């Protein structure tokens, strides 16, 4: 036993003596934020009233002087005119689709903090429709070209042209078979072999999304350990199903899920002393913002967004976590749906130097088509007990191992082995860290209160002022032809085919957007304002509305 685990076990022996002490330790192992306490977060969410700022209060909610308000109003009106002129067809299609498309209603309502949302939607509506892509450019239905910073939620690793070619290859390869389901296309054999070689694990199962792959991993962990509970870490996303998304967004309690603080000694002690934990889920993306949910502009009420990667510290945490799990017979599941193949060819296991029991993949592995994959140790992947033939762990899906998906996946896996693709991984971290540094130097030289933090090609935008309007930057960026997802500046995802010339244009346009936003007064704040005082002011406003005053 490693000395650190021995220390944890020894230090936890007394605490594990009674159920009451184990509950106390579990409570101490939770993160102190609301995100670490799912029941309280749901209760409080149910108490928050709707507040819609009218046109006058919208620009004055932070007590800005009249001169600053006038600049804001002029800047907003100019942006509204630009959007109306550039995106008429896109706006019309979005308005037509919104009434019957619930997904669009949701994303359209949560681009900015809810107090501002109604006025923004009325004047700065974002088109949801695009029609073609080439290189790092996406063109919308009005013919406007955008540099893509969305990464298609992580799918676009190698560039859209590469995935279009993979899909063409898939149609050609599997076209003669077509959508014959149940039976397998011969390419499945090569896919399994390649995935086993990439991961060093034994067996593979195919699914249709990353969420499904995680569901299967958790179900198998419970089946083989005969334990009930799942551990996830505060802020981590593992799909939208109930057991891994406790708190806000889940209408039912996740009673068999423990949400613990990441990089916490108490969390390790909890794992070392409890006997009901079947598995631990890791989302390596949390290295960018431990114990915080994925950043989104709809929650950007001040300048308090934090992010930054300490690769060595996070790797040490994961290694200690792995050791505790292996000692305790807890299944360690690496959720590499987002980071798989993006931060290293061998994913987060290679990047952080760990050996998980199971790995889930999705997004880019499908070669541009929907996919989920689970790879794991043979003892954990078996769905039945030979000595108990009726005691099975069922998991099937109509479209699992769809011929076109298997063919597109095979094209992706073969492309990984091409020298040109391998070259993208040489110096990957250094390349993107240098680019982030260059962006920050440019922003500092422009004198704007904005900087970026990154985990390789996954970026988030940070703000150095306690402004209530930091979220406005997403609209200035769109004006400059930079395409963002619905979370705005919370997450920028670059594809690896970005060359230096393309990136230079992004830096230039990003900086110009910040300068325009500064000139329009959105970053004004009272001299004594802090992020805490801003949040307290919002809380007072909500309490007043709740009490009907």
Give me the tens of pLDDT residue by residue for the chain, a chain 549 residues long: 454 545 455 555 554 456 777 778 888 888 878 777 777 887 888 888 899 999 999 999 999 999 999 999 999 999 999 999 999 999 999 999 999 999 999 998 889 999 999 999 999 988 999 999 999 999 999 999 999 999 999 999 999 999 999 999 999 999 999 999 999 999 999 999 999 999 999 999 999 999 999 999 999 999 999 999 999 999 999 998 888 888 888 888 888 999 999 999 999 999 999 999 999 999 999 999 999 998 999 999 999 999 999 999 999 999 999 999 999 999 999 999 999 999 999 999 999 999 999 999 999 999 999 999 999 999 999 999 988 989 999 888 888 999 999 999 999 999 999 999 999 999 999 999 999 999 999 999 999 999 999 999 999 999 999 999 999 999 999 999 999 999 999 999 999 999 999 999 999 999 999 999 999 999 999 999 999 999 999 999 999 888 887
**Which residue in the block uniquely carries the two structure tokens 């960026």?**
477
Q: Are residues 271 and 347 in the same domain?
A: yes
Q: Are residues 196 and 66 in the same domain?
A: no
Is the C-alpha dihedral spanning 509, 511, 515, 517 positive or negative?
Answer: positive
For the domain that residue 223 is a member of, what is the CATH number? 3.40.640.10
What is the predicted pLDDT for the residue at 248?
83
What is the predicted pLDDT for the residue at 23?
79
For the domain that residue 432 is a member of, what is the CATH number? 3.90.1150.10
What is the predicted pLDDT for the residue at 254?
82
What is the predicted pLDDT for the residue at 20?
76
Boundary-marking domain end, from 355, 389, 424: 424
Say which residues have a Cβ less than 8 Å from residue 45's Cβ, sequence separation at least 6.
248
HSE-CB of 514 using CA atoms within 13 angstroms = 24
Check if the beta carbon of residue 446 is closer than 8 Å to that of residue 514.
Answer: yes
| Residue 107 placed within a domain | yes
Q: Are residues 438 and 410 in the same domain?
A: no
Instruction: Read off φ and ψ for residue 139, nearest 5 degrees.
Output: -110, 130
Q: Are residues 321 and 378 in the same domain?
A: yes
Q: Are residues 240 and 272 in the same domain?
A: yes
Check if the beta carbon of residue 352 is closer than 8 Å to that of residue 314.
Answer: yes
What is the predicted pLDDT for the residue at 28?
83
Check if the beta carbon of residue 169 is closer than 8 Å to that of residue 180.
Answer: no
The beta strand positions in 277-401, using DSSP E, are 277-282, 331-335, 358-362, 372-376, 384-385, 388-392
Domain that holds residue 328: 162-291+310-424
Q: Are residues 412 and 462 in the same domain?
A: no
What is the predicted pLDDT for the residue at 7?
47
What is the predicted pLDDT for the residue at 12?
53
pTM of the model: 0.93
Q: Are residues 251 and 368 in the same domain?
A: yes
What is the predicted pLDDT for the residue at 95?
93
Boundary-marking domain end, from 424, 458, 474: 424
> How far is residue 89 from each of residues 47, 78, 105, measured CA to CA in Å?
39, 19, 18
Q: Is 160 exposed, middle or buried (0-12, 13-18, 19+ CB in 10 A)?
A: buried
The rounded distance, in Å, linking the Cα atoms of 267 and 1 is 19
DSSP assignment letter at 367: T
> How far is residue 239 from each of residues 232, 355, 403, measured CA to CA in Å?
12, 22, 25
Q: Are residues 340 and 355 in the same domain?
A: yes
Number of domains in the chain: 2
The rounded distance, in Å, linking the Cα atoms of 340 and 185 is 24
Check if the beta carbon of residue 51 is closer than 8 Å to that of residue 545.
Answer: yes
| Residue 452 placed within a domain | yes
Q: Are residues 259 and 398 in the same domain?
A: yes
Boundary-marking domain end, from 392, 424, 456: 424
| Residue 296 placed within a domain | no
The rounded distance, in Å, linking the Cα atoms of 523 and 14 is 53
The rounded distance, in Å, linking the Cα atoms of 439 and 450 is 10
């Amino acid at each position: 036993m490693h000395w650190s685990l021995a220390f944890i076990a020894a230090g936890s022996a007394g605490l594990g003596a009674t159920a009451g002490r184990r509950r106390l330790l579990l409570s101490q192992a939770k993160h102190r934020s609301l995100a670490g306490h799912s029941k309280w977060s749901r209760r409080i969410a149910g108490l928050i009233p709707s507040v819609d700022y009218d046109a006058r209060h919208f620009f004055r909610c932070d007590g800005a002087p009249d001169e600053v308000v006038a600049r804001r109003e002029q800047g907003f009106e100019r942006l509204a005119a630009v959007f109306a002129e550039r995106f008429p067809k896109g706006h019309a299609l979005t308005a037509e689709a919104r009434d019957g498309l619930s997904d669009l209603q949701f994303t359209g309502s949560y681009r900015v903090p809810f107090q501002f949302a109604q006025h923004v939607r009325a004047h700065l509506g974002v088109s949801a429709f695009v029609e073609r892509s080439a290189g790092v450019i996406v063109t919308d239905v009005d013919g406007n070209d955008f540099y893509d910073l969305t990464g298609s939620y992580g799918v676009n690793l190698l560039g859209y042209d590469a995935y279009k070619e993979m899909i063409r290859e898939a149609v050609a390869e599997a076209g003669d078979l077509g959508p014959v389901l149940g039976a397998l296309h011969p390419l499945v054999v090569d896919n399994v072999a390649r995935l086993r070689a990439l991961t060093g694990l034994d067996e593979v199962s195919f699914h249709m999304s990353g969420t499904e792959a995680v569901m299967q991993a958790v179900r198998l962990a419970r089946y083989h350990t005969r334990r009930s509970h799942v551990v996830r870490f505060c802020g981590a996303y593992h799909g939208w199903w109930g057991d891994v998304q406790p708190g806000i967004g889940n209408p039912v309690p996740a009673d068999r899920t423990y949400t613990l603080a990441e990089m916490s000694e108490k969390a390790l002690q909890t794992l070392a002393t409890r006997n009901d934990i079947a598995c631990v889920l890791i989302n390596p993306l949390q290295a960018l913002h431990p114990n915080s949910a994925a950043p989104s502009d709809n929650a950007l009420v001040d300048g308090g967004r934090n992010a930054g990667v300490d690769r060595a510290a996070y790797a040490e945490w994961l290694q200690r976590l792995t050791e505790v799990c292996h000692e305790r017979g807890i299944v360690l599941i690496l959720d590499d749906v987002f980071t798989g193949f993006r931060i290293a060819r061998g994913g987060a296991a290679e990047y952080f130097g760990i050996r998980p029991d199971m790995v889930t993949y999705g997004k880019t592995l499908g070669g541009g088509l929907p996919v989920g994959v689970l790879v794991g140790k043979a003892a954990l992947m078996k769905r039945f007990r030979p000595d108990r033939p009726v005691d099975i762990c069922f998991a099937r899906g109509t479209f699992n191992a769809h011929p076109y998906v298997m063919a597109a996946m095979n094209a992706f896996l073969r492309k990984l082995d091409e020298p040109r693709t391998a070259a993208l991984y040489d110096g990957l971290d250094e390349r993107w860290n240098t680019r982030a540094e260059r962006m920050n130097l440019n922003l500092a030289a422009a004198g704007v209160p904005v900087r970026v933090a990154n985990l390789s090609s996954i970026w988030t935008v940070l703000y150095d002022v306690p402004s209530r309007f930091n979220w406005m930057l997403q609209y200035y960026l769109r004006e400059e032809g930079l395409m963002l997802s619905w979370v705005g500046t919370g997450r920028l995802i670059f594809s690896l085919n970005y060359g230096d010339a393309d990136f230079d244009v992004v830096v230039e346009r990003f900086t110009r957007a910040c300068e325009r936003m500064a000139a329009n007064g959105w970053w004004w704040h009272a001299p004594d304002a802090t992020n805490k005082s801003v949040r307290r002011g919002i809380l007072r406003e909500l309490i007043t509305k709740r009490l009907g005053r």
